[in-house]
Structure 1
Amino acid sequence: MKNKIIYKITVALVVLFTINSCDEYLEITPEGKQNTENYFNVPQDYHDALVGVYDLLNTTALNNMLGEIASDNTLCGGENPTDVLEWQQIDDMIHTPDNGALRSIWQWMYAGISRANYIVEFQDKTQFQGKEQVLAENLFLRSYYYFELVKFFGDVPLYTDGRISIADTQTIEKTPKAEVYSKIEADLNASINKLPWQQNQKGRATRGAALALLGKIYLYQKKYDEAADAFNKVIASGQYQLVSDFTTVFLNNNENSVEAVFEVQYSGTQEGASFECFQCLEGNFAVGFMGPRFKGGNYAPYASGFSFNIPVQELVDAYETGDTRKDATIFDIDAFVAIKTDVTYNRGSEHTGFFNKKYIPYADDNVIPDQNINRSNNYRAIRYADVLLMAAEANLQATVQKNNPQGLLDQVRDRAFGDANHRVNATLENVLNERRLELAGEGHRFFDQVRTGKTSSIPGFTTSKNEVFPIPRIEIELAGNRWDQNNGY
């Protein structure tokens, strides 16, 4: 049994973190006996509330899948061209401010922020041993949610002092993303030394996770010296290493490995799964959406899915002969059926014959009736390989190198090929290409393309528009039409 934190809200927390309606997701309404007057009086209240903040990490499965669909790595897929239309629109770069998927991301990330702010509001109410670490984990999570918002939307409202009320939305303006980044930096820097390198429960924020997230935020702002410094602290800590065999990194029996800097925990055992309430799940709903549409035969060890997020041929061809990452990243269904001749499957829309093997559904990772949306595959949010490549990129552009970019890149490629015979020079172009090959299927590609200006290969991408997504129209209306829409929308 894995000793990991399962992001489940207890009965007491349900009343504390009630989302009243679709239009009032920001407002936390205490009900019954558990209210602000008699809560946060004992240490367990803080710990329970923190689990509530972790809980919203489950919803980032959508963020990660769209980070691939919006890029040049994959096509949307599905059963037909209108299957989950809001995802299809993002794939084709024709999404509008009325896109429901984008509003879900906006709502869910702010729900996580609002839960974190609830702890911030009452952080001084009770003193207890270990409180500093609780508050540090809370600030890490709030920073994580804000980073997701900035990646998707650019300038966003910044709420930091307490619970977010509906009245607040009528007065708070959008904050320039530079100021949001500044606040995230301050929060992470305040948290780092209060977090341990190792946690007793897998899935909790650590010092390495906070440093890696800080370095990534610096990298997104082109603060290369600061990024190189943060990444070097992660590397120099000796807490992480690459798993020797890349083909095992994403197996369900290899979760929270030595390569995991931060990993979102999922469980396929929680009842109450619903297509109408993805935020209610404890499982990774994206995994079921990405599986092949198996029809019959013995297709063990895999389970059937809905054929979304389909890798394109160009990505498959980008892998060199001998690169072990190809077969561990790309599931070739024709090759699979050639071996298992009794297996049949239905072709979905935009069929290429390829699927995301990193997050493919397995037959044994779910125990509830509806296996399609409640899978237990953890999301590897920050891997050590990602840190090495970000560090190589930052050091190549820093005024003072904190580490040798060639050595950092070599570690990743040596693992991929199993030897040192396939090394390439550590140029910026080669490092960015390595990020695509190493991290394909993990939700980073679109944002890497945007931050580096490499968007010309994204079908339908319009420069000076599609670098960010539109703020949901209804959120602007709920804010009294005071927020400007993002350019081009």
Structure 2
Amino acid sequence: MRKITLFLFIVCCTIATSCSDKFLEVQPKAALSNTVLQNKAGINALLIGAYSLLDGWATAEGAYRSYQSSGDNWVYGSVASDDAYKGTIAGDQPPISLIEQGNIQSDNIYFRGKWRGMYDGIARANDVLQNLPMAKDISEAESKQIVAESRFLRGHFHFELKKMYNMVPYIDDKTYSPSDLESTKVPNTEDIWPKINADLQAAYDVLPATQTQKGRVTKWAAAATLAKAYLFQKKYAEAKTLLDAIVASGQYKLMPLYHDNFRAVTNNNAESIFEIEHSVNDGASGGENGNIGATLNYPYGGGGVTTCCGFFQPSQNLVNAFKTDANGLPMLDDFNKEDVKSDQGIESTAAFTPYDGQVDPRLDHTVGRRGIPFLDWGVHPGKLYVRDQAYGGPYSPKKHVMYRSDVGTNTFASNPRLNANNYRMIRYSHVLLWLAEAEIEVGSLEKARDYVNQIRRRAANPDGFVKGTDGKAAANYVIKEYATAWTDKALARKAVQFEQRLEFGMEGHRRFDLVRWGIADVTLNAYYPAEAKKRSYLNGVTFIKGKHEYFPIPLQEILNSQKNGKATLTQNPGY
């Protein structure tokens, strides 16, 4: 009887629709029409969707993976610099190996992964702005703040693209038309800095100094991001004005302990200005909100932290940079003449005594090395934590790694590599060191020295030293302030740039900083031949000035940009 009834229902439906095509007009499953979203709840959902792209990831893993577009830029900012190796083994994720080795081609899937992630974020911000005017249950004040948050996010995503590829299309809510799928096929011939600046300025002008919901951007997040953009443009006076305002607000301070910037239990602390929020056990079935972009970057084995995957290993060059001289200061010019002792080639069962020379205490909050406590997991065992020491070196990454005490609370139930340790994209220490940069160029060298000394004073706090089970410092930590007045601008500039490397090592900033400082070619072409003595795959690698400052526009995006048989996107010089 049920079958007959069902058959009659189908026939009736067929008759009712046989003279009309309206039955074909079906909304896609798992999609909402604009009219459903044009209200307060819908707009907030769209805005949260835009925020969710800050970590670079939104879709199921396939050919495009989370680590290609990770918000911390570990591949493009660190592995593509002198801070880190790809690590693991030669045959795992070969597209990263190509980037590390300077074999940079436009068909590398990683470049398209980053491009897609950022333009997905831009599209979501524009969705908010296009639908907002039709939402009638939102007050004028709320509307202004929603616009400001959306424009901040759009500015941020374009900023990420700008520093990666330089000449990229700027897509705003006026450019994209839902009824014209080719509306975003616009040339990349325009320098988009003015439009990035305008988005960030609009956000700064409207956003409140604080937000009740953690993770929503504030006036000072916009100010810091705009100041950073100005530094990339060498507009030091404009950057200084904004950075001075952040300091004058009194809202932020350096945390007493350096490592509090890298713990889930101290997320959104007094030093944090702009964080990418990570969460776990929040209903996402795969734990994908838990810093999925860094999921490869954990010790490989050893019965400790995890069993996967051994990527993102600190370079010997970075480790050497943490050595200090007799005055407790960085060895700006000759830090790489002699290596900090490592356990390269030594089995974990064999005896090993760690380096006993003077080092900056931030070393052991940045790098995992044999004989030094690895967070609260016990002493780093060396080779047991490394997948292939001969290929990737003896060191492990550390800043993003969860503590043992986080497991089960700040880690995903079935995969502790997915965790709630936020990525601090901008913190107060950035503001102070950026101010030091600006003061050197348009202000006072002595003010610059004071800002750097504030950073070093915090690092010198013995309460923040990594300690052994006996409560004593785990290594010979010696760090002091610059006691002599700065009178040489070039030397001051070098000191500030070096301090930024020490403070932000392994945080995805290094290559972009080298490029904006105009020293990428000199620095990396000194790094490659020296490091090649340890990592033979770096033999013959060269940074080509005038080409490698930026990555290539992804080939597939150029092909997809065609209108009337002609590409609207132009490739970067040299590719």
Residue aligning to 1:36: 34
Unaligned runs of 5+ in 1: 1-28, 275-279
Q: Letter of the aligned partner of 1:76 in structure 2?
A: K
Within the alignment, does 1:370 sit opposite 2:435 as a pair? Answer: no
Q: 1:69 touches 1:76 (CA, 8 Å); kept in 2? A: yes
Residue aligning to 1:22: none
**Inter-CA distance 33–343: structure 2 relative to 1 (3 Å threshold):** closer
Q: Kindly report which structure 2 residues correspond to 1:322-401, keeping only aligned pairs within 5 A, or say none.
A: 323-336=360-373, 339=379, 344-348=384-388, 350-363=391-404, 364=407, 365-372=410-417, 374-398=418-442
Distance 2:316 2:30 in 1: 56
Shift of 1:82: 2.3
Within the alignment, does 1:472 sit opposite 2:554 as a pair? Answer: yes
What's the secondary structure of 1:261's corresponding residue? strand
Residue aligning to 1:457: 523
Shift of 1:248: 2.6
Residue aligning to 1:131: 143
Residue aligning to 1:55: 52
**Inter-CA distance 457–322: structure 2 relative to 1 (3 Å threshold):** closer
Shift of 1:327: 1.1
**Inter-CA distance 157–293: structure 2 relative to 1 (3 Å threshold):** same
Within the alignment, does 1:316 sit opposite 2:319 as a pair? Answer: yes
Shift of 1:189: 1.4
Q: 1:252 touches 1:377 (CA, 8 Å); kept in 2? A: yes
Shift of 1:366: 1.7
What's the secondary structure of 1:268's corresponding residue? coil
Residue aligning to 1:15: none
Q: Letter of the aligned partner of 1:220 in structure 2?
A: F
Q: 1:62 touches 1:105 (CA, 8 Å); kept in 2? A: no
Cα distance per residue 1:107-164 (max 9 Å; x no partner):
0100000011111223322341422111111111111100000010001011112546
**Inter-CA distance 263–342: structure 2 relative to 1 (3 Å threshold):** closer
Q: 1:53 touches 1:141 (CA, 8 Å); kept in 2? A: yes
**Inter-CA distance 353–181: structure 2 relative to 1 (3 Å threshold):** same
Q: Kindly report which structure 2 residues correspond to 1:98-113, keeping only aligned pairs within 5 A, or say none.
A: 98-113=107-122
Shift of 1:333: 3.6
Cα distance per residue 1:392-430 (max 9 Å; x no partner):
1012112x5699222211111111123994326551110
Distance 2:499 2:480 in 1: 16
Shift of 1:347: 3.1
Shift of 1:295: 3.1
**Inter-CA distance 341–138: structure 2 relative to 1 (3 Å threshold):** closer
Sequence identity percentage: 32
Distance 2:84 2:46 in 1: 38
Q: 1:158 touches 1:175 (CA, 8 Å); kept in 2? A: no
Q: 1:293 touches 1:348 (CA, 8 Å); kept in 2? A: no
Distance 2:34 2:510 in 1: 42
Q: Letter of the aligned partner of 2:205 in structure 1?
A: N
Rg larger for: 2
Residue aligning to 1:68: 78
TM-score normalized with structure 2 length: 0.72
Q: 1:291 touches 1:308 (CA, 8 Å); kept in 2? A: yes
Distance 1:340 1:444 in 2: 26
Within the alignment, does 1:415 sit opposite 2:412 as a pair? Answer: no
Shift of 1:193: 2.8
Shift of 1:186: 1.1
Per mean C-alpha deviation after superposition, the further-off stretch among 310-319 and 282-291 is: 282-291
**Inter-CA distance 341–215: structure 2 relative to 1 (3 Å threshold):** closer
Distance 1:254 1:197 in 2: 20
Distance 1:259 1:109 in 2: 26
**Inter-CA distance 341–136: structure 2 relative to 1 (3 Å threshold):** closer
Distance 1:367 1:148 in 2: 28
Distance 2:309 2:159 in 1: 29
Per mean C-alpha deviation after superposition, the further-off stretch among 404-413 and 160-169 is: 160-169
Distance 1:30 1:333 in 2: 54
Distance 1:371 1:341 in 2: 20
Q: 1:53 touches 1:115 (CA, 8 Å); kept in 2? A: yes
Residue aligning to 1:83: 92
What's the secondary structure of 2:434's corresponding residue? helix
Number of equivalent positions: 446
Unaligned runs of 5+ in 2: 1-26, 57-68, 325-357, 463-478, 487-491, 529-540
Partner residue of 2:281 out of 257, 269, 272: 269
Within the alignment, does 1:285 sit opposite 2:292 as a pair? Answer: yes
**Inter-CA distance 135–244: structure 2 relative to 1 (3 Å threshold):** same
Per mean C-alpha deviation after superposition, the further-off stretch among 410-419 and 99-108 is: 410-419
Distance 1:259 1:325 in 2: 17
Per mean C-alpha deviation after superposition, the further-off stretch among 59-68 and 384-393 is: 59-68
**Inter-CA distance 411–293: structure 2 relative to 1 (3 Å threshold):** same
Q: RMSD of aligned C-alpha atoms? A: 2.6
Cα distance per residue 1:190-233 (max 9 Å; x no partner):
22131111111111101110000000000000011101111111
